Structure 1
Amino acid sequence: MARRRWLMAGAAAGLGAIAARTIAAGSVTARAATRSAGPPVARIDTAHDTYFGETLADPYRWMENDRDPGWLPWLKGQNDYTRSVLDRLPDRATLLRRIEQLSGDQTLTAAVQRVGARLFYEQRPAGAETYRLCVREAGHDRILVDPSAIHIAGAGHVSLDWWGASPDGRLVAYGLSPDGSENSVAHVLDVATGRDLPETIPDTQGADPQWLADGSGFFYTQLTGRVDTPDRFLDARARFHRIGTDPAHDPILMQRGLDAAVAFDRIQTPTVSTSPGSRWALLTLTDIRPQQRLYIAPALDAAAGRAHWVEVAGFDDEIVAAALHGDELLLLSNRDHPLGRVLSVPAATPALAGATERVAETAQVIEAIAVAADGLYLTMMDGGVARLRKLPARGGVIEIALPFDGSIRGVATDPRLPGALFSYGGWLVPAEIWSVDAAGHLAPAGLSPKPTVDTGRYATTRAFATARDGTRIPYALIYRKDLRRDGSAPAFIQAYGSYGLTAYPPSFLGRMLALVDAGCVVGFAYVRGGGAYGEPWHKAGQHANKPNTWRDLIDVCETLCRDRWTSPRHLAIGGRSAGGITVGRALTERPDLFAAVIDGVGWSNPLRYVVEQNGYGEEPEWGAISDPQGYRWLKAIDSYQHVVDHTAYPAVLLTTGVTDPRVAPFHVAKMAARLQAATSSGKPILLRVDYDAGHGIGSTRGQQDREAADTYAFLLWQTR
């Protein structure tokens, strides 16, 4: 469903110049700390698992049980040791002060929704710790929800997780959670008074509220599994809440087993979506795959629980997005056209066999579609760089000229109104909200004041490395203009490579400018498994092809060394979440190539997904442990199982948050323990723990600042 609002996955705030002497002077002190003491040695309690005739040993299985009496003391001991090392790096405190200054100078706007004369937006103002929900009306701005003023017993902070305004702009449904846990409780706010209505709804992570046209109620998705158990995200259900009623009695519109005509698996989530100006509702069944199953029915029938859902498409039809425009249903399809084309069917008779092609496949990927009164807006992807096109009501597709190569974080439209709003920024240009009108004219929307950071001393390069199988892998570099390409510069190269997502599009570096100021080359490799070139690029780094993901990163890094941007003794790599697979396997396959590795909240032991709350939902991407082929795929990506004793591993910093609902803390904990026991290099293996944070989504500005200071100090210590 084309969203009428969009979410930005956390733009970075800036970091200014730190002299090179910071790290050079700190090496002796920190290395002395490493020699004089060590992290607590993890207890070995080996479990053995046999998969299809092959037995694997797991020496730290006990860490999967967060009630084990040794878990929290060991975790605390690891973090205490990490702090003793990082806090003694000279000028780390100076780094942090500079980060705090520059991140506090930047205003970040993360989501917008236009409803008539009201403009709703989610923003973290300069100096604020968390994002707020605001509304602009008649030229005046007003705060509607300020999580920093809300207190939940036992929580260090509260985060705004999601929100959506009713089509008339009178009400807003929104979700709050403690400590970055994303375990949302839904609230409903009256915009005129700024006060909450009495009703609240628990277990609404990713609720995605979708309103009826008259604003009398909204559809939402609710989780049913217990927190911190493997069934947390299984068997979710779609419900409808009518304003003023008890949410405990909200009708269940769809769940597994409810409708014999709509059978689906436990890992798939049902979501009911609506669109202003349309009398129809869409039922989508989704899992981690980009494809979806799609049904349609009248919205009022759906709200009343009497919908006869008509199937539009199955997973094999490869529909990746849908949008309603009155009685027309627009579909973004990859079937037989892997870079995407847009089809149109009547909502009343949505037969794909009779679909009309509205936008043909091109050499660029169609990533998303959004309907406005003046036409269909298309977000395009060109090897990591965003483009914007439009299909007007009459005529063919036109290009909307963007002012520089950058990234679009989303396009917000309303089918009743012309034009669109979107966030746009580049490596050296802070993101802000732009508007485009029906004539195609672009202009800043005036929501995000520009920070004062001067970017004139930096340069960027976009180039390609040739992978070992001949594939051209794009990468981007950001560096100081006076950089000497003699192989002596430190470099930090990040990669992701999963789910078909284009991670690390050109976005303002913010805090990472600290590394550039210190003479570091900052880079991003668009490895296979991601979405730089659409679904073919995704599939080329998935399942049996997954080794392409980390080997692409290795090949990019070797290219940078050959081209004298850096050299192995100065080279660091990093990845977060699923990027932990990429950097973890690059680490275990080529430990000689890197001086340092950053593994942030990363998947390290995916063979054990069966014991975590976000595990089973990953089966379409990684494979199922119950299947021999799936087991082979999972074993191949499991960094923990590929650590080899008596190997000279580089320095590694692993991070986790104890409330993480997406990647359980045991992943990086087990990886840290295994590396500490196996390495023969004498280089530090550090585990950093945030006790009131999760996956990073919902972390405060201060938490992000402190993690950045720790990471950059560690990197420069090990690569200079």
Structure 2
Amino acid sequence: MACLSRRALLAASTALAACGTARAASRPAGPHPIRIDGGPPKAPVRPVREMYYGQLVTDPYRWMESEDAEWRAYVRAEGDYARAVLDKIPGRDKLAAAIDKNSKAVTSVDMLQIAGPHIFTQRRPPDADIGRLYVRDGLSGTDRLLIDPEHFSEPGTHAALDWWAASPDGASVAFGISQGGSEHSVLHVLATATGAVSPLAITRTDDANPSWLPDSSGFFYNRYQDVPADNLHYEENSSAWLHLLGSDPARDIRLIGPGIENGIPLTPIDEPAIVATPGSDILIAQISSGVQNEVSLFMASLQDTLAGKPAWTRICGPADQVTDFTVRGTEIFLLTHKHASHYRVLKMSAGNPQLFTAKMVVPQSRAIIQTLAAAQDGIYLLDLDAGLGRLRRLGMDGKVTELKLPFAGAIDTDSFYADTLHAGAWFQLQGWVRPPVICQAHADGRVSETNLAPQPDIDVAPYTSKEILAPARDGARVPLSVIYRKGLQRNGNATLLMEAYGAYGITLDPSFMARWLPFLDEGAVFAVAHVRGGGELGEDWHLAGQKAAKYHSWQDAEDCALHLIRLGYTSHRSLGVVGGSAGGITVGRLMTERPELAAVVVSLVGVSDPLRSEFSPNGPPNIPEFGSVKTERGFHDLFAMDAYQHVHNGVDYPSVLLTTGLHDPRVSPWEATKMTARLQAATASKNPVLLRVEADAGHGFGSTRAQRVQETTDVMAFTLWRTGHAGFQPPG
């Protein structure tokens, strides 16, 4: 299982896909303006001045954090203005049609599980606007719709399937539904045979992580405390519960949480989850401290727990740097980066679950072990090696064997599945210009492609990708992916959009998305800078872009951009950079440190004011990654990475597109509105600063296909317009 909580500011990663006819990049003198009567709204300036450890900090738009009626009117006006401008970009409608066509050609599979005789898959077929849950009996079976979130939609909004878990016998499914992209899940249970949903509805299960009892009679789950979702402390003081099927949820048993004396110490941001394993009496309590990857683990007997007398034994704490685990029988396998930046695997016996007794069974190597899962025939290891996925198996005899994949590509960690009731493993394999395939690893070492992800009718032959290394100013070598249409002339004229993220140790793996290929068909280039703060080169790479070292993230992005320019892929006037979520820090500070570097900056639901993020509901859980203003060191780190605080009057800032979803539970919408107002007031250039607003969306999880198509269209059209790309210029 993956130990990273959903509370992390996950990347809204942009990847590629589609087909078309290439157009040679042509470059007019510069982008033509689009004028809207009245211009953008003017936000009132009401400075708040505070002294932090001897440093005066001025916040001109602090009032926006209240998100009151005045703020709502302002954000509505900004959104209306942005919509008016974006809709006037020539070529936008044609681009939208191409993106929509390609999006409908792809069946996306997000997650799968084998349970009983069934194969469950969460997928969005071409005729659907949002992901659904399907079930079939074996690979040769016929898919049957089990959960359609649209049936749960409330008036004026849309519903999304946030998470789900089938019982080991496959007879039941626990699942979470939220409204409007809010991710505020309500837990339900249905019967697989009939699709009937029980009356059960448990609120505040945003991060439920349900784990079924081995006999399928109930499940453990996490639940947030009973306060409103917009309360600063909503995500704090959560508890782990046990629900038995058919019982009143009011009688659910709270096993781990604040006030329970059981030898498991908790802080407010700690999130407990209890994990059971079929065929084992071992229960593991996983304690995640906010978004920190390193967890605390405790063990108890399932039998004792069901009898009401669990005795928890500590296995490890955050200092032991364990990030993942799996259980088989009486054996516990731990994934750790202690003394191993690329990770290693330890094994211990449940009879003596002390870390000093653990034996190393898989040493670290060149490849980075991302996760592991127990199966009947061994422990499957998912690796990342130079940007490509690898699959290995630790056999029952203790030998490690690499399995040959059908093609070179990336393995999606969310789709990686194995369990102790079945031999083998399942996973999704894809590339930048290769559609995803669901593969099955067999006990005999074969890996076969399945029919679970129908292949789109898209010709990918015209496209290619290249992996290069960009030199950073301090001598580091930053991995850089470049995706384009074959025959590209590297004369510096092509529009290039470079994505950068760099947080939590998250990797931006190759991902095929059909809606981005029309951008390449315009002769444009897409690139991904795998900057420090991510996990592409191991835990050391992550730590090198965290807290006091966070500056490496945006400086790596700057150095990658300069390398692309040197290689002739683009030029300063043709360059755009995009970052989503925590990637807003990276592109925001790139812009404020080097405003002349790029012509376009796009921040998708981005963090722009981390100095104040701590004072939002998702702020405290993120302290382990970014720090806290409550310490002097933390303040200086946060101030250094705060793009909002580094905007200065009279600077020629580039064209900027910011986005927000009004139901965003991860990055509060006031961050985007404060940054928009500050840039509009400060810039000395005539370049537009737009705030794109989604009223019925959040952080992007739970957005519909149509919403994603429209957002992608706006990002592409804005980038092509502001880099002077022919065909996207208004008359003038």
TM-score of the two chains, using structure 1 as the length reference: 0.96
Q: Alignment partner of 1:33: what SS? A: coil
Q: Displacement of 1:37 after TM fit?
A: 3.9
- Residue 353 of structure 1 aligns with which residue? 356
- Residue 130 of structure 1 aligns with which residue? 130
Distance 1:241 1:707 in 2: 40
- Map 1:199-278 onto structure 2 (within 5 A): 199-224=200-225, 225-259=227-261, 261-278=263-280
Distance 1:422 1:668 in 2: 36
Q: What are the ranges of 5 or more consecutive residues in structure 2 without an aligned counterpart?
A: 726-732
Distance 1:684 1:555 in 2: 25
- Residue 337 of structure 1 aligns with which residue? 340
Q: Displacement of 1:403 after TM fit?
A: 3.1
Q: Displacement of 1:2 after TM fit?
A: 5.8
Q: Displacement of 1:414 after TM fit?
A: 1.3
Pairing partner for 1:396 from 394, 399, 402: 399
Judge conservation of contact 1:458–1:478 (CA < 8 Å) in 2. Answer: yes
Deviations, residues 307-366 of structure 1 (Å, cap 9, x unaligned): 111000011111111101011001111111221111111113111111111111112111
Distance 2:408 2:640 in 1: 36
Q: Displacement of 1:9 after TM fit?
A: 7.9
Q: Displacement of 1:401 after TM fit?
A: 1.8
Q: Displacement of 1:395 after TM fit?
A: 4.9
Are 2:494 and 1:489 aligned? yes
Q: Displacement of 1:443 after TM fit?
A: 1.6
Distance 1:161 1:265 in 2: 26
Distance 1:168 1:120 in 2: 12
Judge conservation of contact 1:219–1:303 (CA < 8 Å) in 2. Answer: no
- Residue 504 of structure 2 aligns with which residue? 499
Pairing partner for 2:312 from 300, 309, 312: 309
Q: Displacement of 1:12 after TM fit?
A: 5.9
Distance 1:663 1:220 in 2: 25
Distance 2:202 2:642 in 1: 37
Distance 1:671 1:11 in 2: 22
- Map 1:641-660 onto structure 2 (within 5 A): 641-660=645-664
Deviations, residues 526-582 of structure 1 (Å, cap 9, x unaligned): 100000011111011111111001000000111111111111010000010000001
Q: Displacement of 1:660 after TM fit?
A: 0.3
Judge conservation of contact 1:13–1:103 (CA < 8 Å) in 2. Answer: no
Q: Displacement of 1:251 after TM fit?
A: 1.3
Distance 1:438 1:8 in 2: 34
Judge conservation of contact 1:105–1:127 (CA < 8 Å) in 2. Answer: no
Pairing partner for 1:363 from 362, 366, 369: 366
Q: Alignment partner of 1:201: what SS? A: coil
Distance 1:360 1:375 in 2: 16
Deviations, residues 666-714 of structure 1 (Å, cap 9, x unaligned): 1111111111111111100000000000000000000000001111000
Distance 1:49 1:483 in 2: 52
- Residue 456 of structure 2 aligns with which residue? 451
Q: Displacement of 1:27 after TM fit?
A: 8.0
Are 2:675 and 1:671 aligned? yes
Are 2:596 and 1:592 aligned? yes
- Residue 573 of structure 2 aligns with which residue? 569
In structure 2, do the counterparts of structure 1 residues 229 and 635 end up closer, same or farther at CA, with 3 Å as the change threshold? same
Are 2:508 and 1:473 aligned? no
Judge conservation of contact 1:329–1:345 (CA < 8 Å) in 2. Answer: yes
Judge conservation of contact 1:321–1:368 (CA < 8 Å) in 2. Answer: yes
In structure 2, do the counterparts of structure 1 residues 666 and 9 end up closer, same or farther at CA, with 3 Å as the change threshold? closer
Distance 1:27 1:83 in 2: 22
Amino acid at match of 2:372: I
- Map 1:145-160 onto structure 2 (within 5 A): 145-152=147-154, 154-160=155-161
Distance 2:691 2:18 in 1: 24
Amino acid at match of 2:624: P
Amino acid at match of 1:499: Y
Q: Alignment partner of 1:343: what SS? A: strand
Q: Alignment partner of 2:150: what SS? A: helix
Q: Displacement of 1:377 after TM fit?
A: 0.8
- Residue 330 of structure 2 aligns with which residue? 327
Distance 1:161 1:321 in 2: 22
Give the root-mean-square deviation of aligned CA atoms.
2.0
In structure 2, do the counterparts of structure 1 residues 320 and 485 end up closer, same or farther at CA, with 3 Å as the change threshold? same
Q: What are the ranges of 5 or more consecutive residues in structure 1 without an aligned counterpart?
A: none
Deviations, residues 633-667 of structure 1 (Å, cap 9, x unaligned): 11111110000110001000000000000000011
Q: Displacement of 1:32 after TM fit?
A: 3.5
- Map 1:164-175 onto structure 2 (within 5 A): 164-175=165-176
- Residue 77 of structure 1 aligns with which residue? 77
Q: Alignment partner of 2:719: what SS? A: helix
Distance 1:264 1:713 in 2: 48
- Residue 441 of structure 1 aligns with which residue? 446
Are 2:466 and 1:461 aligned? yes
Distance 1:509 1:356 in 2: 42
- Residue 372 of structure 1 aligns with which residue? 375
Q: Alignment partner of 1:259: what SS? A: coil
Distance 2:308 2:46 in 1: 52
Q: Displacement of 1:599 after TM fit?
A: 0.2
In structure 2, do the counterparts of structure 1 residues 25 and 54 end up closer, same or farther at CA, with 3 Å as the change threshold? closer
Judge conservation of contact 2:25–2:523 (CA < 8 Å) in 1. Answer: no
- Of stretches 350-359 and 135-144 in structure 1, the one that deviates more from structure 2 is 135-144
Amino acid at match of 1:439: D
In structure 2, do the counterparts of structure 1 residues 10 and 107 end up closer, same or farther at CA, with 3 Å as the change threshold? farther
Amino acid at match of 2:382: T
Amino acid at match of 1:662: R
Distance 1:45 1:319 in 2: 46
Are 2:423 and 1:418 aligned? yes
Amino acid at match of 2:600: A
Q: Alignment partner of 1:177: what SS? A: strand
Q: Displacement of 1:390 after TM fit?
A: 1.2
Are 2:190 and 1:189 aligned? yes
Pairing partner for 2:526 from 516, 522, 543: 522
- Residue 631 of structure 1 aligns with which residue? 635
Q: Displacement of 1:137 after TM fit?
A: 1.2
In structure 2, do the counterparts of structure 1 residues 83 and 26 end up closer, same or farther at CA, with 3 Å as the change threshold? farther
Q: Displacement of 1:302 after TM fit?
A: 2.9
Q: Displacement of 1:280 after TM fit?
A: 1.1
Distance 2:162 2:30 in 1: 40
Pairing partner for 2:33 from 31, 34, 48: 31
Q: Displacement of 1:436 after TM fit?
A: 1.0
- Residue 706 of structure 2 aligns with which residue? 702
Pairing partner for 2:301 from 298, 301, 313: 298
Amino acid at match of 1:336: H
- Residue 283 of structure 2 aligns with which residue? 281
Q: Alignment partner of 1:285: what SS? A: strand
- Residue 602 of structure 1 aligns with which residue? 606
Amino acid at match of 1:71: W
Distance 2:111 2:439 in 1: 12
Amino acid at match of 1:209: P
Identity %: 41
Amino acid at match of 1:302: T
Pairing partner for 2:644 from 640, 645, 653: 640
- Residue 120 of structure 1 aligns with which residue? 120
Amino acid at match of 2:589: R
Q: Alignment partner of 1:198: what SS? A: coil
- Map 1:686-697 onto structure 2 (within 5 A): 686-697=690-701
Q: Displacement of 1:17 after TM fit?
A: 3.5
Distance 1:662 1:109 in 2: 24
Judge conservation of contact 1:251–1:305 (CA < 8 Å) in 2. Answer: no
Q: Displacement of 1:11 after TM fit?
A: 8.6
In structure 2, do the counterparts of structure 1 residues 104 and 12 end up closer, same or farther at CA, with 3 Å as the change threshold? farther
Judge conservation of contact 2:371–2:383 (CA < 8 Å) in 1. Answer: yes
Higher relative contact order (CA 8 A, sep 6+): 2
